[in-house]
Amino acid sequence: MCVNKDVIIACDFENKAELLGFLKKIKTKKLFLKIGMELFYREGPEIINFLKDLGHRIFLDLKLCDIPNTVKSAVFNLTKLNIDMITVHAFGSKAMIESAKDGLLRSSREILLIVVTILTSISDEILKKELMIKYSLKKTVLNYAKEARKSGADGVVCSVHEAKEIKRLGFENFLCVTPGIRYKKQKDDQMRTATPIEAKKSGSDFIVVGRPITRSKYPILMYEKIYKDFLGENHE
Residues 6+ apart with CB under 8 A from 191: 120, 121, 122, 123, 180
Q: Within the chain, where are the H helices? A: 16-26, 37-43, 46-53, 68-79, 94-105, 124-129, 137-150, 160-168, 196-202, 211-214, 219-231
CA pair distance 12, 159, nearest whole angstrom: 18
- Choice among 5, 16, 25, 63 that is catalytic: 63
Dihedral sign from CA coordinates of 98, 193, 37, 50: negative
Give backbone dihedrals phi and psi of 81, rounded to 5 degrees, phi first: -85, 0
Indicate the length of the chain as a whole number: 236
CA pair distance 103, 177, nearest whole angstrom: 21
CA pair distance 13, 35, nearest whole angstrom: 9
Active site residue 63: yes
Alpha-carbon dihedral angle through residues 158, 159, 165, 168, given to the nearest 10 degrees = 70
CA pair distance 203, 205, nearest whole angstrom: 6
Annotated catalytic sites, by residue? Answer: 63
